[in-house]
Amino acid sequence: MTTYSLSKGSPTKIKTDVLVVGVVRTDKGLSAAPGGEDVASAYGRKFAPLLSTIGFTGKPGEVATLPTSGVVTSPLLILVGLGDRAAMTTETVRRAAGAAARSVSNASTVALALPAVDADHVRAVADGYLLGSYSFTRFKSSETPDTANEVVILSEVARNKEAIAALATAQVVARATCLARDWVNTPAGNLTPEIFADAVTDTGRHNKAAKVSIKVTDETKLEADGYGGIIGVGRASANPPRLVELRYKPRGAKAHLALVGKGITFDSGGLSLKPGAAMTTMKLDMSGAAAVIAATFAIAELGIPVQVSTFAPMAENMVSGNATRPGDVLTMYGGKTVEVLNTDAEGRLILADALVKAGEQKPDLIVDVATLTGACVIALGDRVAGLLGNDEETLATIKASGDRAGEAFWELPITEEMTEKVRTNSKVADLAQHNTERWGGTLYAAAFLQEFVGDNSWAHLDIAGPAFNEKDPHGYTPSGATGVGVSTLVQLAQHLSENGRKK
């Protein structure tokens, strides 16, 4: 297990296997970023020519490794680009730290002389390195994670209590994010609804710092209590559905936050079967559940004074003689009826049940997180999540929380047209689950979910794009599961604890 610490020492004198220094572009050329000035001074006039010789340009995320030949105490120097000095932000620093982490190998100790000029930058350095170091090797027969035993963040504010707290927070949130990544990366055959629910229970049992109570409802009780959406989606599978509830109720809570996460552990599309190639990564369809559960544990472990009620409906969308058919009508939890027009739009059905349940708790705010629509990926790409809801104050707060956490969200509208279609597209039920037209799929899905939130303030995070990276790693984002949403939800809870919630 890697230990992380802060130190005020000079990067030229610290005894570690690897020293990481940032490089920025200025009007006068390349120079060491804040935190690495002593290293540049140690090289003197040779520093800039050295960078030129190795072809280093300082562009964000660029990495170069070279021996120090005794110029500084550490034998190996990793240079990481931060781009233009004037444009550098905490997110730039976070990404650079992640790129550096992925370049460290066979090192027992690492020192990070990156811009850590205040508590926010300390947090960014720690976030980036912790998340950039992630690897998933559970199913590798011989490979073991190549991580350092000790990582030291060098900073002039190392003894500042805010900086110390920032490092501690970064470690909790990064562990939670990596927990979510682990769950999402696990093959669907090894993470059925029952196994997933058991894993959540085990996590709560072993994490004594997080005082979270957990309740798991099985398929028999779900059917008896009228959870028509969860049962309707999960009934075709040999692995029956579950509803996992988590409760964190601290003394003096400043607000009550309800979280709902889509937990489709595998999505075949049901009778509206997906093409074979489209199923390959469908283990990712429980990313929303993983995010809200992991965030709940992190909020509790940090002791943030916000009550959290979390609901994670879990089901496997499969094909059998018992499968829900297009045209079937389901009676949802709470009594509304829904005509199913496309069984591959199953996520909104299980979320609908859970949203009604969340609303019964009378929270100040409901936030659901889901890999819900391919339309959102088409609209926003694979690095930006959609943000929709019924309360502009809530949407603005979540957008700001995401910006601070380094997670990008873009607001999309829920139009009157889509609300009307949800209510009129079915001739036999209260609501139509799927649009009869091709366009506006993300807006329609959100309009459908809105029918189940009552008069509660509510936001919907469609993370279909950024939840799973099918490309090469970048910054602190690995290939595979990203854990998107965890950090934003923790930051949202922190905001609510500091500002309360208007009724």
* Residue carrying structure tokens 């997906």: 274
DSSP letters of 390-407? Answer: S-HHHHHHHHHHHHHHT-
Q: Which residues of the chain have pLDDT under 50?
A: 503
Contact 367, 456 (CB under 8 A): no
pLDDT at 503: 45
Fold observed for domain 173-499? Aminopeptidase (3.40.630)
Mention the CATH class of domain 3-159. alpha beta
pLDDT at 502: 53
∠194-356-193 over CA atoms, to 5°? 10
Rounded CA-CA distance 417/414 in Å is 8
Q: Please name the amino acid found at residue 236.
A: A
Residues designated catalytic: 274, 348
Tell me what percent of the residues of the chain surpass a pLDDT of 90. 96
Q: Which helix (H) or strand (E) holds 315?
A: strand 307-317
Phi, psi of 281 (to 5 degrees): -105, 15
State pLDDT tens for residues 146-183.
789 999 999 999 999 999 999 999 999 999 999 999 99
Q: Could you tell me the residue ranges of all domains in the chain? A: 3-159, 173-499
Please compute Rg for the chain using Cα positions.
24
Cα–Cα separations (whole angstroms), residue 232 to 173, 319, 346, 353, 360: 35, 12, 9, 11, 22
* Residue carrying structure tokens 């059917």: 223
pLDDT at 143: 66
103: buried, middle or exposed (CB in 10 Å: 19+, 13-18, 0-12)?
Answer: middle
pLDDT at 1: 85
Do the domains 173-499 and 3-159 match in fold?
no
∠111-114-119 over CA atoms, to 5°? 105
